[in-house]
């Protein structure tokens, strides 16, 4: 499963083995980390917590940052 987040102002956090996506303090999506293959962050204005990034790293889940002008991949 892929988690794709592109909405400006979104925040990706970790809670009890899940990644949660919030926008304007409203939960938009929740995905068990164990089901993720990758996280894709598209565009500007999307934030990810250090806890969420560390959990992905520990599980070998790559986080891809994709912008109009370039692509950055963070892997464990």
Q: Sign of the CA dihedral 24, 37, 63, 19?
A: positive
CATH top class, domain 2-74: alpha beta
Q: What is the pLDDT of residue 44?
A: 87
pTM greater than the 0.75 cutoff: yes
Strand 26-32 with 18-23, pairing: antiparallel
Task: Give the domain ranges of the chain.
Answer: 2-74
> 31, 1 in Cβ contact below 8 A?
yes
> 19, 36 in Cβ contact below 8 A?
yes
Asked if pLDDT for residue 34 goes beyond 70, the answer is yes
Buried b (16+ CB within 10 A) or exposed e, 52-74: bbebbeeeebebbbeeeeeeeee
Q: What is the pLDDT of residues 45-76, one digit of tens each?
A: 999 999 999 999 999 999 998 876 655 566 65
């Amino acid at each position: 499963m892929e988690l794709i987040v592109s909405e400006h102002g979104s925040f990706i956090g970790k809670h009890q083995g899940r990644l949660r996506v919030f926008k304007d303090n409203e939960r938009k999506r929740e995905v068990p980390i164990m089901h993720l293959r990758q996280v894709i962050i598209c565009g500007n204005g999307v934030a990810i917590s250090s806890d969420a990034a560390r959990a992905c790293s520990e599980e070998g889940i790559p986080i891809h940052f994709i912008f109009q002008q370039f692509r950055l991949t963070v892997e464990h």
